[in-house]
A and B are shown apart, each in its own frame.
Chain A
Amino acid sequence: MKKKRIIPILLLRNGWLVQSKSFSRYQNLGNPLTAVKRLSEWGSDEIIYLDISREARYDLRRDDLGYPNRHELFEIIKDVSKVTFMPITIGGRIRLLKDIERRLILGADKISINTVAIENPVFISEASYEFGSQCIVISIDVKMVDNQYRVFANGGTLQTHYSAVEWAKEAEGRGAGELLINSIDRDGRKNGYDIALLKQITDNVNVPVIACGGVGEWEHFAEALEQTKVDAVAAANIFHYSDQSVYLARKYLYQKGLNVRPPDLITF
């Protein structure tokens, strides 16, 4: 049987691995290549890299963000495929079809697209036609406004006219292979996934949905897998703070009888 996936997300900001809270506060966590090697050894099903860097000029005025481009994204992608053997999704700052091509050539398996798809939904169709829908992930940032789930663009800063379900259905119709659903309200809050949001989305689309935003304990993964039809549970912060995090999360879910790969530490 096909397994549900456990996916660590790595947020990259100007070449550094960071922790995020509400899409607005960032804390530096160090070297992204070391992190991915560790996460692979602990048995992640795949890895998602999201490059959330802002314009260089904006960042250079701040001194708490380390050196810009200390670890260039493209070098990271290239090196990652030497130390891990699992699927890699890369997202962030995709504007053109050739941005997708460049990342695939370097070793990405899937590409996550957000803002450009909202600005120009035809881009989803073009990308899935050109590269196959299996490698096009549409990332959707959602925030509750007036008791409704609304879609935000530009790293959560710009409200769009779409409701979450509307946009999820449109993205699927245009050829998205997967949807990555992020709750801005839950980001970094550690109070669990927005289950109602995940239910709404999975009840309305047939493509695999990846849940993201709000995990503070292993139990939150189980909640999403038990109460919604998500295909994968993702998180960023929780995986970076404890030793063997992915292994322990998997062990917890496996022992609960959930349909995940058995826990295993990988050394080679």
Chain B
Amino acid sequence: MHKKVCILDYGAGNVNSVYNIFKMYTEVNVSNNLSIIKDSTHIVLPGVGAFEATVEKIIKLLPIDDIRNIVFNERKPFLGICIGMHVLATTGFEFGEHPGLGWIQGRVEKLDPGGMPLPHIGWNNIICKKKSSILKGLESNPDFYFVHSYVFKPCEPETIVATSFYGEEFCSIIQYENIFGVQFHPEKSQKAGIKLVENFLSVQ
């Protein structure tokens, strides 16, 4: 099947690297247009910035109810990166308490780095907690590139695919059926990032 990726465009700053990594494999659009989103086979939500501001922009600039429908009913593979993962939560606690999109039950809270500096920036390994198509062919405990201060704390432990350690253990890959979220940046993670992108594109 021919693959078409839509990177959801809600003015999230620089999406060049995300665009370029998917572009190595297939056709990519950066768009908020519903017909383009409908026409795509895979949807990606990138992100930088704070929780509340990002959710606000998403609600304002994206046809989010239709996207929800496409993801939940048509079961189109969806990948949220960093803040794009966080906004899927029920509630966020960055600069006060704010509702998220509520696609995966959980809270977004500040990481407790145990005296180490925040944000957590750099290469860190993940620890695989369960089998997932997103991890296929990756070596055990591969390193990915992280930049963040907040983490997703899921309500249902079964949604945790992998965790990482920085002061505390936190969820670095989440999956609820066809919805994936990654705390790190695959587009900055060289070989492992490329493999993960390839795996996501193989999800039907």
Contact = CB atoms under 8 A, between A and B. Distances in A.
Contacts of B194: 85, 268
* Dominant secondary structure of chain B at its interface with chain A: mixed
Contact of B122 (A2, A106, A133, A206): A2
A263 to B, nearest CB: 12
Contact of A266 (B14, B123, B125, B191): B191
Nearest to A172: B117
Contact of A85 (B119, B120, B123, B188): B188
A107 interface: yes
B17 A81 contact: yes
A85 B122 contact: no
B143 interface: yes
A5 B122 contact: yes
Interface string B177-196: 00000000001111101100
Contacts of A105: 13-14
A31 B121 CA distance: 30
A133 B24 CA distance: 31
A1 interface: yes
A196 B191 CA distance: 36
Given A1-B125, A177-B121, A261-B143, A86 B188 contact: yes
Give the size range of A's interface with the partner: 20 to 34
Nearest to B193: A85
A202 B156 CA distance: 41
A207 to B, nearest CB: 6
A105 B16 CA distance: 9
Contacts of A268: 24, 191, 194
Interface string B102-116: 000000000000000
Contacts of B193: 85
Given A85-B190, A87-B188, A1 B165 contact: yes
A133 B125 CA distance: 23
A81 B16 contact: yes
Contact of B121 (A86, A106, A134): A134
Interface string B3-47: 000000000011011001100100000000000000000000000
A208 B190 contact: no
Nearest to B121: A134
Contact of B191 (A206, A207, A264): A264
Contacts of B190: 40, 43, 84-86, 266
B166 interface: yes
B20 A231 contact: no
A17 to B, nearest CB: 21
Contacts of B166: 2
Contacts of A81: 16-17, 20
Nearest to B139: A262
A180 to B, nearest CB: 14
10 contacts: A3-B123, A43-B190, A45-B123, A82-B20, A86-B189, A87-B145, A104-B13, A107-B14, A231-B122, A266-B191
Interface of B: 13-14, 16-17, 20-21, 24, 117, 119-125, 143, 145, 147, 165-166, 187-191, 193-194
The 4 A-B pairs of least Cβ separation, nearest first, read A3-B123, A2-B124, A134-B119, A107-B16
